[in-house]
Amino acid sequence: MKKIFFCFVLWISFLYGDALDDKVRNLIGTQAYSINENFIKRIFKDKDSFYSDGRININKLVSTLKDNGLLILKFDKPSDLNITFVSQTTPIFLARSINSALSSMGYSYFAVSQAEYLDGIAKITFSFSTEHALDPSIIIAELSKRGYLFMDIKRNSITNWEYDVELNEPKLANARDIAPSDILDITEVSGEYWFSTQGQGNITITSKTPYWRPRIVLYDKNLQIINLISQATTTNKITFSLLNGISFMMVTDLQNPAIIKSGIQIKFENFDN
């Protein structure tokens, strides 16, 4: 019995080691792996520490490679970079998350070159011209802020990468949290106000101008539209009910968002108030 158990542990160790070695080789390239093989073995001597819940800890792995100068991302010349993101969410939510993350990283010019949605899985490829691949540790940090967990990264080539991410807690980078009993006074120069909502109750929104034509969009956690509230006549206040299942809310003006750029007050009350 002890012999069987020992063999099982040994088999698991070899399995973990092979998987980690394969991932390192994939991320840095076969040539770089061969040149630095002895150095890599020293760095990853404690292979178990690079696993979490039976999976490779991608964040720790790429950080270790980067810190030790093994993750070379710069191209020989400016090239077209293709980065694909795969996640079990809607394409609109995934696209918005990636757009926001890339903008935060300083990228302004990029385009969706391919998108598909099959069996609840969204797959979107972004393409743009650059001098280096994305820094995995930075994109991991940016998408973590937006509620994603990184499951895997695959380098198909130095200019073609694929990220497998899991949406753990849907977040929008520019959305303000609001819950029952909250009163917020805010301004937004774009005239487009985003909120992350919790609970249910009555919402009262007051603008600083009497010329507001309300346009309020209510979304679920995947940014699917649940309800649209709009009013063609001008006002400075509107009240409506927020029910369970609403995760995000966008407030703007029906004709010109700049109308309410000077600010709004939003009040969230429980139904029993």
Residue ranges making up the domain that contains 196: 176-269
Q: Which of 22, 48, 67 is the last residue of a domain?
A: 67
Same domain, 85 and 151: yes
With contact defined as beta carbons under 8 Å apart, do 248 and 172 qualify?
yes
On whether both 56 and 13 belong to a single domain, the answer is: yes
Closest CA to 149 of 56, 72, 224: 56
pLDDT in tens, the chain (273 residues): 544 544 444 444 444 458 999 999 999 999 999 999 999 999 999 999 999 888 999 999 999 999 999 999 999 999 999 999 999 999 999 999 999 999 999 998 899 999 999 999 999 999 999 999 999 999 999 999 999 999 999 999 999 999 999 998 888 988 999 999 999 999 999 999 999 998 899 999 999 999 999 999 999 998 999 999 999 999 999 999 999 899 999 999 999 999 999 999 999 998 876
Does residue 41 sit in the same domain as residue 93?
no
**Three-class HEC string of 21-69:** HHHHHHHHCHHHHHHCHHHHHHHCCCHHHHEECCEECHHHHHHHHHHCC
CATH number of the domain at 115, please.
Answer: 3.30.70
Could you tell me if 158 and 180 lie in one domain?
Answer: no
For residues 124 and 160, state if they share a domain. Answer: yes
User: Is there a single domain that holds both residue 61 and residue 13?
Assistant: yes
- Count of alpha carbons within 13 Å of 26, Cβ hemisphere only? 17
What is the token pair recorded at 162? 């694929």
Count of domains observed in the chain: 3
pLDDT at 240: 96
Instruction: Report the helix count and the strand count for the chain, using DSSP H and E.
Output: 6, 16
Whether 55 and 21 share a structural domain: yes
Rounded to an integer, what distance in angstroms lies between the CA atom of residue 233 and that of residue 62? Answer: 54
Looking at the structure, tell me whether residues 86 and 163 fall in a common domain: yes
- Where helices occur in 128-170 by DSSP H, the ranges are 136-145
Q: What is the pLDDT of residues 97-109, one digit of tens each?
A: 999 999 999 998 8
Structure confidence by residue, pLDDT tens digits, 138-167:
999 999 999 999 999 999 999 999 999 999
101 and 79 inside one domain: yes
The contacts of residue 226 (CB under 8 Å, 6+ apart) are: 218, 219, 220, 245, 246
| Type of residue found at 93 | F
Do 53 and 90 belong together in one domain?
A: no
Q: Which of 147, 167, 187 marks a domain boundary?
A: 167
Which CATH number does the domain housing residue 243 bear? 2.60.120.380
Which of 101, 132, 167 lies at the terminal end of a domain, its last residue?
167
